[in-house]
Amino acid sequence: MSRWPWCRGLEGGDWQWPTEQRVFLLLDGVRVASLPRRLYEWVEGDLAADMLYAGTPWAEVGDLSPWLVTLEDQDDPILRAFLEEGLGAEWGYLMLSRAERSEVTDHLRNLIQVEHPAGTPMLLRLADPAIISALFTDGSSPEQVPWGPIERLILPDAVQEAWQVNAPQEKAANGQPVGASDYRLSESQLARLEACDRRRDIRRLMEFVDRHCDGWLMATDRPQRHAQLAGIVQEARDFGFSAPREWALFCTLMQRLGITSWREVDNSEGWTNLLCYPGQWSGMARLEAALSAATTSSRIDVTT
């Protein structure tokens, strides 16, 4: 896997704009508000793009559809908008192929819905870079992973603030590539997709912390802050708090106490008893009670 920091630019690693492959940009209609309108505004003319949900059972929610855009060159206005506005929010990613856009679109449409390892239908957020990286891992075999016409992925990673390249393993001479239609996920793929959910929740928690707990975290760069928050979320889980709303209150409580780990708190037994109240209180109720006690005094007797 090849990686390089965003500060070096799109072509700042060992990848250069290809001359023998087409370059596509897959954009997420959920993360980019009013995506169809913005695409036409960016190009100010003809749009060379396909809406993935068109002609599928999800056509009625076309406003949320991913769009596959053909990029003309490094100065394409849609690419410029993506690089200027969309990296931190992970609007999408680049895709390389020698195939026509229509062939790549058809391939991706077959992957909108896949099979869970248990055999049930499962929708994929195909334009999410983390999701596609979990599905199309670097060096994976086309006989096991449905790369189809996709030859390379250039993915933004907002946690590491870096570009990442994923590419398939060379096809075996007598190998039979797996198709995208009715593709069934493996257990390892499912585990990686579930990890994407946790990553997404921590990124959202970071946005909350940046807005409401300014100056609380010791780490300054984004990768370290993400790792620190991941540790705090694990502490929250240890207390039985599993919902993102509970994690936000948990962070607020820690900020008021001036700590970033419960190993640092005074009267830790008292706070632990309050947060792990053996009665029938919900997680939110326990956190609100702790916040009330912290507001009164961070050294208050909370053992009762």
Q: What percent of the chain has pLDDT over 70?
A: 96
Q: Is the pLDDT of residue 44 over 70?
A: yes
What is residue 302's predicted lDDT score, i.e. its pLDDT? 40
Q: Hey, is 160 helix, strand or coil?
A: coil
Task: Provide DSSP, 185-206.
Answer: --HHHHHHHHHHHHHHHHHHHH
Task: State the residue for tokens 């609007």.
Answer: 91
Dihedral sign from CA coordinates of 263, 224, 216, 277: negative
What is residue 271's predicted lDDT score, i.e. its pLDDT? 83
Beta-carbon neighbour count of residue 187 at 10 Å? 9
Chain mean pLDDT for the chain? 92
Beta-carbon neighbour count of residue 246 at 10 Å? 20
The pLDDT tens digits for 78-125 are: 999 999 999 999 999 999 999 999 999 999 999 999 999 999 999 999
Give the mean model confidence (pLDDT) for residues 127-140. 97
Q: What Cα–Cα distance (Å) separates residue 73 from each residue in 16, 19, 42, 70, 284?
A: 11, 10, 15, 9, 51
| Cα distance between residue 173 and residue 154, in whole Å | 26
The pLDDT tens digits for 215-250 are: 899 888 889 999 999 999 999 999 999 999 999 999
Backbone angles phi, psi at 112, to 5 degrees: -60, -40
What is residue 265's predicted lDDT score, i.e. its pLDDT? 80
Q: Which amino acid is at 145?
A: V
Q: Is the pLDDT of residue 149 over 90?
A: yes
Q: What is the token pair recorded at 36? A: 């169809």
Q: Is the pLDDT of residue 304 over 50?
A: no
Q: Is the pLDDT of residue 297 over 80?
A: no
Q: What is the token pair recorded at 167? A: 């590419």
The pLDDT tens digits for 201-214 are: 999 999 999 999 98
pLDDT band at 64 (very low <50, low <70, confident <90, very high): very high
Give the mean model confidence (pLDDT) for residues 146-157. 97
